[in-house]
Every structure is written in C-alpha cells, then in structure tokens.
A and B are shown apart, each in its own frame.
Chain A
Amino acid sequence: MTTFTLDTSDEIGVARAVGIRDLTFFSRVPHGGGAAVGVVHQAAMAVATGAARTVVCYRALNGRSGQRYSSGISDGPTTSDLIHWSWYMPFGLMTPASWVAMFAQRYMHEFGVTSRDFAQVAVSTRKHAVKNPRAFFHGKPLTFADHQSSRLIVEPLRLYDCCQETDGGCACIVTTADRAGDARHPAAMIRGIAQGAGGDQEVMTSFYRPTISSLPEMDLVARQVYSISGLRPEDVDAAVIYDAFTPIVLWQLESFGFCAAGEARDFVNGGNLELSGRLPSNTHGGQLSEAYVHGMNGVNEGVRLIRGTSCNQPRRNDHVLVTAGVGVPTSAMILGKAA
C-alpha cells in the first residue's frame, strides 16, 4: 500500500477498514502532488522485487471541507521544513498560487508569454470536463472572456488559472503483468516510471537556480522515463499533465520535449491539447476542472486512456504520459498497452 505523506488516512487504517490482513509493504512519498506517480513508482518496485504481489496506491483528501491548501503553514516544532517556510511566511508568500506565480512572472518576462496563453490551457481543459460526468465542471463551459475577467488571485494568476479544492479520493492497483491479465478490466502497462529532485531543490520555492523558467526536476524525470521506456516524445499519443495551475502545463510540455524551451505557448495556442490536436491532454478535465485529488485522478485517467474508456477518448492511445506535481520533487510515467 502506498500513499502521500500528506494523506490523513494511514495505511493500516485503510487496510483495517477494507479488510486487508497481511500487508507486506507500505510506503509514503513526500512533497504533495509530486508524489502522484511516485506512489506508483514505489508500488512497481515492490512488485518487481517481490516485496508485494499487489499494491494499492491511494490518495484521499478533504481539500474543500477540511484543511485547505491556501490556509498557510501551521505552527509546530522547528523542523527543516519549517525553517524553509520561514524564508517566505513573514513576507506573506504563503500559498501554492503565490509560489507558482513567482515562476510564472519570470517565464512570461523571458518568453513573452501572456495571461491569454494560460487561458488557452484553462479553456481547452474545461472542454474535456464539460463532457465528464465525474467532473466538478461537468456541463459548465469556460470562455476566454470568463478567464480574462476572473478575479486576480496572485498576479499574474487569475481565478481560473488555479485548480479547485476538492473532497475526493482515488486509488489504483499495481501488480504483475501475469496477475493483471486475469483481471476483469484490461490493465495498462507501466513502460517507464521515475522520480526526481533537481539541484538546489526546494519545495515549491526553488527560486535560487540560475534560471527559474524551467523545471530541472521534471527534466530529470523526463530523461529517465524516456530512457527506461525506450520511447521518444513523438511516441506519446496523449497525456495527463499535472495542472494545479495553468502555467505549469506549459513548462512540462517543454520538459518532456513536446516543444522547445519558451515555445509551449505556441503549442497550446495551436490547439494541441485538444482531442483533435497533437497531444490530447487532461481528457478528464484535469485538476483545473475535474477535481484536485493531488494527481491521483490523473493516474486513473491515464489507465482509462489506455483502456479506451475516457469520456474524451482520443483515437490514438498506444502510449500515455502521466505527470505529477510541479515545483516539488516529482515523478512521471508512460503507460502502454499490456502485451
């Protein structure tokens, strides 16, 4: 069983509740949404080594009704984590939107990106949610004008650049290819999976690198995922790109080589994230428009894309990229079809 360090339901609590008796492997991955594929990575390693035969990866949170992510950092003993946040809290820089906005401002400055480019991500993702009955924004379209007139949260980010706060839970199961073959539903094969933390890595605030307009940790993950799978960007048919905020989608497109540095705005404006585009992405509506379950809902959408059961199913689905949180030590994988 694997989950996020941030999860408030512990493994044995879940195991007891669902009647799992002999639990031979449990592990937690830190750094919020960066763990989304990390939990699958842990599970895959446990299955590969025989530490476990079947691993449940889960994430559940009351992001709306419980502890909200925008509520700041609470007191506690002086840990290295608290010392880290102390460089930001006294200055009021204390929300995920504000940390992402700091990178976004610089990225816009360097590459001439505008809020309209971010809007493109929000609008195309919403088109998918509109057709997904599970999505919070099912049946509720979003226009460019809606995005551009939405209130400022942390400049340069507006309301619709930010994901939702959700009460929700998701789980997936990782096991051997043999056992998966006996399952009722077709499985997705993990073709390449990796975690990564970059040089001078902080949690959400890696402001001290020579450049802050790229994601060294995601670059590292991308290199590994392509290397392990033997695949290249052009082999990827569809993607679930972690989208807690709109700008981070652009940066990941560059990390995974779908476009060159600074050119993601052209990629998204060309309609490439939509069903008819080069890389249909966030076909469930993403975290911007389906739900914010820390990327675990994206893992499940990745499996649906491989099975061909997405609400917005692209025609080609041999290989699907799934990524995890941005600005933190992170993870990603490429899913393929079972042999």
Chain B
Amino acid sequence: MTSPRATREELERRLATYVGAAAGPPEVGRDPVDGALVRQWCDALDDRNPAYLDEDAARASTHGGLVAPPAMLQAWVLPGISMSRAAADPENRQRELHALFDAQGYTGVVATNCEQAYDRYLRPGDRVTGHTVIESISGEKATGLGSGYFIDTRTTFRDQHGGQVGWMTFRVLKFKPAAPPAAARERAAPPKPRRLRPALGHDNAWWWDGLRCGELLIQRCKSCGQLRHPPRPMCGACQSTQWDTLASGGRGSVYSFVVMHHPQVPGYEYPLVVVLVDLDEGTRLISNLVGVAPGDVHIGMRVEARIEDVDPELALPLFRRETSAGG
C-alpha cells in the first residue's frame, strides 16, 4: 500500500462513504440447493435429521419432501476458492474498505458476531442469491486486540423468484494489532539465559553492592580485627557485633578447584572452572577462574580477581591467572 497515512478525521470521512453501499455485486449461488452438499454438511455436524437426509421420511413429514438445514443459508452463495481472488474485483467495495483500513495500519481482522434469520426452508433445486450491504461502521474502539473499527454488514438472501428466504448480519473488527505484552514478547524471543542471582538479605547484600561499586570486600571485626568470609552478623572469636570492611586486593592462590561438566545449567559456560581461592588477606572465597584451560589449573597457582559485569545486573569477582607481581 502506498497511500499515505490519513488523519483519523480524514479516515472517518472516507469510511462514511461506504456506509449503506452494496458490499459488491450480488452473490449468486454457483449451484442450486442440492442433496450432495446437504449430506456433507450433516456428516460434518453429525446432524441425522431425516428431514435433510431420508427422502421417504421427509415426504411423510410436515415438510412433504427433503429440505436443507436452515443454517446452511450462507453456504449456498459462497464462491469457494475464488473468494481469495475477490480483491481484484473492482466492484467489491468490502475488499476496498478492508484495503483502506490496512493502509492505515488497521491490518488485523477478526469476525466477532454473526446472526441469521430464516423465512422458509430451502429445498433441492432452489437457487439462492445474496445481497450484502455495508450497514454501519463504528467509531474507533479500544479493544483487547488493539484499537479498531467494527464493520457491520447485512446480507439478504433471495430465491429464484426474488422472494426473501433469510438474512444474516456479520460483524468484523478491523484493528491495529497492539504491541504484545512484555511477557508474551519474552516468550517470543527468550532472553539470553543468565547466571542465578544471589538472594539478598541484611547479612550479605552489602557484599554484592560492593562488587557493583568495584570493590571485593571482606568483613572485619571492629573489636578484634578478625576477617571473616562468608560474612555473618557476629564475630565468632570475640562476640562483637561491630564490624567494618576491608577492600581486598583480589590476589591470592588456588586452594582447591573443580571442573564442572554435568549438569549444565543455562547461563553458564562448560566446562566451568570453580576455584576456592586463598586471598592474600587470609580469607577464602569461591569464584570462577576464566582464561585458563581446565587442564592447566592447579592447586597453588597465583590468581587475581577482576570485577566483571556478567550481565547488566550482576557483577562477579572473576579470577584470572595473575599477570603482575603484587601492587
């Protein structure tokens, strides 16, 4: 579509020209009402009414002969596969109307209501023609699917003698598809899996905050000076609850390590080297060793930490082989 986007006012002015117009040329049934299509319909719906299927029973009934299921009303005028070529038909104003909506971004379409009424039973041999009018177009409505307009059409069905045999109203919504909610978007494009987050509480959140500020902290008893990791609220040596922190230089040596192969958890790269590091300050710490092949890791090797953002919300002190003498 090349037509420029119209203002809403312009759009609605153009929409008004369609109201009351014929949706297109009369819809002439391709075939007369016949038993073959009735039987297929009844098979599909498991309808065993003898008035539709059993000639003798139908003749003996109040109908005096076979009749078609009333709900087939529209089926008699549907054009089959040629419906998909109707867009090329210059007289099809309903298609033109939909194209107008498409050009304005109302690309979605959904049928919302259909109502039918029947004046008489159709019988084999009847020929049906539909006359559809665009009856009304609503103002713009906000819906769960997106903002859009309801289009109501009304089709009158007539027989070969011009007598009305029934009518149908049909309502569709032409809408601008709303952006899917965040959750649905995430389902559509799963984010890169991330490492498990630490659970944060009074006793550890400050340590993780320290990493975000670029510091690897060690808890220190204010009373006796003992360092402790992992942190806890009281000094086990002197029972003091007063503490402050020391920023570690991040250097140390590997006290022990493992290389994880199974199970592989999303968010981590395997084989994953996990090290237990003896920091030079005297405490131990679990972390990962990066940039060293698993086979080259050994107990006692010198390492240094670099605080890295492993994702936008998580900074970790990842260790590498020590590159320079202490500083």
Contacts and interface: CB of A to CB of B under 8 A. Distances in A.
A78 B197 contact: no
Interface residues of B, number: 36
B203 A80 contact: yes
Contacts of B284: 207-208
Interface in A154-168: 154-156
Interface string A88-118: 1111111100100111011001000000000
B201 A83 contact: yes
B256 A109 contact: yes
A70 interface: yes
B195 A86 contact: no
A90 B261 CA distance: 16
A232 interface: no
B307 interface: no
Contacts of A105: 256-258, 299
B274 A93 contact: yes
A134 interface: no
A155 B261 contact: yes
Contacts of A103: 256
Interface stretch (B77-85, B136-144, B160-168, B262-270): B262-270
Interface stretch (B123-131, B216-224, B286-294): B286-294
A202 B262 CA distance: 23
B199 A154 contact: no
A154 B265 contact: no
B198 interface: yes
Given A91-B288, A106-B299, A207-B276, A155 B259 contact: yes
B306 to A, nearest CB: 14
Nearest to B317: A91
B263 A102 contact: no
B233 to A, nearest CB: 10
Nearest to A152: B261
A78 B201 contact: yes
Contacts of B230: 84, 87, 208
A151 interface: yes
Interface string B222-240: 0000000110000010000
Nearest to B204: A83
A220 to B, nearest CB: 17
A85 interface: yes
A92 B263 contact: no
Interface string A53-96: 00000000000000000111101001110111111111111110
B287 A101 contact: no
Contacts of A212: 255-256, 276
Contact of A90 (B197, B229, B236): B197
A92 B274 CA distance: 8
A88 B286 contact: yes
Contacts of B200: 78, 83, 86
B104 interface: no
B96 to A, nearest CB: 55
B262 A154 contact: yes
Given A89-B196, A95-B263, 8 more contacts: A70-B262, A83-B204, A91-B286, A101-B258, A106-B255, A106-B256, A154-B260, A208-B284
13 contacts: A83-B198, A83-B200, A87-B286, A90-B198, A91-B288, A92-B272, A93-B274, A98-B260, A106-B255, A106-B299, A151-B262, A205-B286, A208-B283
List the 7 shortest-distance A-B pairs measured between CB atoms, nearest first: A86-B198, A155-B259, A82-B199, A106-B256, A101-B258, A89-B196, A78-B201
